[in-house]
A and B are shown apart, each in its own frame.
Chain A
Amino acid sequence: MPKLSDLLVPAPLRKTPKPGESGVPKTPAPQDLKSNPPERPGDLGRLGEQALEAPVEAVAWIDQRMAASGFLTGMLFRKVPKGTNWFYTLGSAALFAFIVQAVTGVFLAMFYTPSATQAYSSISHINNDVFLGQFVHGMHKWGASVMVILVFLHMGRTFFFGAYKYPRELNWVIGVVILILTMTMAFTGYLLPFDQRSYWASIVGININGTGPIVGPYLSDFLRAGPELGATTLSRFYAIHMLLVPGALIALIGAHMYLVVKLGTTAPPWTKIGTQPRVAEPTTTLDAGAVSSNGHSPNGSGSTIAGVHVDGHNGGGASA
């Protein structure tokens, strides 16, 4: 009977068992096959074990064809810097908020009608008649605010920890676009219930868009599909809210996370780097004025080289 942990880890990732461990016979294979025939795969006693092996075999079958295990090991078992703390979970929290919005949004779309005359009654129907309708609608409504707040907090964490610096500038830029798209989602979703608050908030929002010089008036016309908030404004907002922006958001979140995995995360700014040698090196005693053993000081003029204090006590390993 294999251990559960062995079943969950795909075959290519598993450690090779040593002789004597479960699954590997201690004794060599029997020589006389006639008097001691090998167990056949169809034997009833082996069926249970085979059934337990099936998911592992399935995962291994897929992995053999996708070669995904290398990527997954690299992603799931990647090293994180010392000092990583709860603030580093804000990005995942924002991602989770997005997933909540995506899932609840899909189910709301099953009951919602994007028509100026029926939108309000379809939302009333969701809230009052559909089983758990008010709950799912509420999750979507409040989840929107939660996502905006989490994206902002995540941005603040990145800023105050200096995590936007080289080589992560591109990820900051992608993050800013994600923030803008999140606000677009919040804005376009606001109109959809088509009650008094939605209607007037959208009027005000579109008119704020319109105050941009030269392009503003045309942008307003684009959003409204005409000079006044009309029959197609709602379906236009619905299409932007439901098809256009989510697609772009998913693509950008993918790129954002790819870069996080590729570049790794930063240590918090209060983590002291350089006081401890990153790689253990053999301790060498350095005399002041002597050429350092690792070739950092060819001038031999002093013991302080490029801002790194080299002394005998520390072992001279700091090569920051």
Chain B
Amino acid sequence: MADEADKINQPYRAPENVRTEPPPPGYFEGESMTRRKVFTIASQALGGLAGAAIILPAVGFAVAPIFHRGKERWEKIGKTGDFTEDTYRQVVFTETPGIGDAGKTLAYVRTSSKELGEEEGQIVAISNRCAHLGCPVRFVQAAGNFICPCHGGVYDFQGKRIGGPPVRPLDRFQTRINNGEVEVGPRYSVTSQLKPVRARDPGEFTGGVWEYLYPPRPSTFPPP
């Protein structure tokens, strides 16, 4: 049903068999759009442009951290002789600078063990962040397991899940030995076969199709 607004936006046609009315202002022969419609579209486009000029930078500002990767940090945690292959030593170091104690995290550190099929001469640093929802796990010496106080997740000596709700083994930190000093670096996650992948948040599966369902984030570092 054509109403008044539609009529205005239609190209002007001289009525047939009627006394001719004067054409609207700005009319010329063969026009495809009325003057009024041109101005309507132009003002709407300008309004949209002005809106985009405000909103796009603001939204970009808010989502920028998703695409930003911070500086790679390496923290000294002790000498090579401080760590053994039988048990873990707790190490507290700063993962996120600038926020005091809240930016600190805890790693359980040992040397690699040939019995477990690991490459010799390496330092293994396991994050205490539970792979379920991120609570702090504790290594229980008597059981030889990592146990999470929140929802009862249990991990074996290597950090592989053996019980409870966690979806993957415990995360690890990259390590290196610099002049006899052990240093820990960026965090990475592992698959159930302990294959290193980019760091995932707790609660996200790793390996297989999950690598696509929980895509790696640009804010994390490549695995070793």
CA distance A200 to B135 in the complex (A): 7
In the assembled complex, the CB of B99 is this many whole angstroms from the nearest CB of chain A, namely 4
Tally of chain A residues near chain B (CB < 8 A): 29
Q: Which residues does chain B contribute within 8 Å of A224, judged by CB atoms?
A: 65
Give the residue name and chain of the A residue nearest to B64 (CB).
Answer: A225
Q: Which residues does chain B contribute within 8 Å of A220, judged by CB atoms?
A: 201
CA distance A206 to B133 in the complex (A): 9
B224 within 8 A of A: no
A232 within 8 A of B: yes
Name the residue in B68, B70, B99, B100 with the highest tally of chain A Cβ atoms < 10 Å from its Cβ: B99
Contact A213 B214 (CB under 8 A): yes
Produce 1/0 per residue, B84-114, CB < 8 A to A.
0000000000011011101100000000000
Give the residue name and chain of the B residue nearest to A230 (CB).
Answer: B96
B50 within 8 A of A: no
Contact B65 A194 (CB under 8 A): no
In the assembled complex, the CB of B24 is this many whole angstroms from the nearest CB of chain A, namely 36
Produce 1/0 per residue, B201-213, CB < 8 A to A.
1111000000001
Contact B66 A203 (CB under 8 A): no
B200 within 8 A of A: yes
Contact B217 A217 (CB under 8 A): yes
The SS class assigned to the A binding surface is helix
A263 within 8 A of B: no
B163 within 8 A of A: no
Produce 1/0 per residue, A251-275, CB < 8 A to B.
0000000000000000000000000
Produce 1/0 per residue, B168-204, CB < 8 A to A.
0000000000000000000000000000000111111
Produce 1/0 per residue, A33-75, CB < 8 A to B.
0000000000000000000000000000000000000000000
Name the contact of B204 in the complex, choosing from A203, A204, A211, A228 (C-beta under 8 A): A211
A27 within 8 A of B: no
Name the contact of B220 in the complex, choosing from A194, A199, A200, A227 (C-beta under 8 A): A227
Q: Which residues does chain B contribute within 8 Å of A211, judged by CB atoms?
A: 203-204
Contact A232 B133 (CB under 8 A): no
Contact B202 A207 (CB under 8 A): yes
Q: Within A186-220, which residues are at the interface with B (CB < 8 Å)?
A: 194, 199-200, 203-204, 206-208, 210-211, 213-214, 216-218, 220
Contact A204 B65 (CB under 8 A): no
- Whether A214 touches B215, Cβ cut-off 8 Å, given contacts A207-B133, A222-B66, is yes
Contact A210 B215 (CB under 8 A): no
- Whether A207 touches B203, Cβ cut-off 8 Å, given contacts A117-B100, A225-B65, A230-B99, is yes
Contact A208 B99 (CB under 8 A): no
A300 within 8 A of B: no
B63 within 8 A of A: yes
Q: Which residues does chain B contribute within 8 Å of A232, judged by CB atoms?
A: 65
In the assembled complex, the CB of A113 is this many whole angstroms from the nearest CB of chain B, namely 13
Contact B219 A203 (CB under 8 A): no
CA distance A232 to B61 in the complex (A): 13
13 other A-B residue contacts (CB within 8 Å) besides A116-B100, A217-B204, A231-B96: A117-B100, A207-B133, A207-B203, A208-B203, A214-B213, A217-B200, A217-B201, A221-B65, A222-B65, A226-B70, A228-B95, A229-B102, A231-B99
> Can you list 12 A-B pairs with a CB-CB distance of less than 8 A?
A116-B98, A207-B134, A210-B202, A210-B204, A214-B214, A214-B215, A220-B201, A226-B68, A228-B103, A229-B102, A230-B103, A232-B65
* Interface positions of A (Cβ within 8 A of B): 116-117, 194, 199-200, 203-204, 206-208, 210-211, 213-214, 216-218, 220-222, 224-232
Nearest 5 CB-CB pairings of A with B:
A116-B99, A210-B201, A225-B65, A211-B203, A227-B219
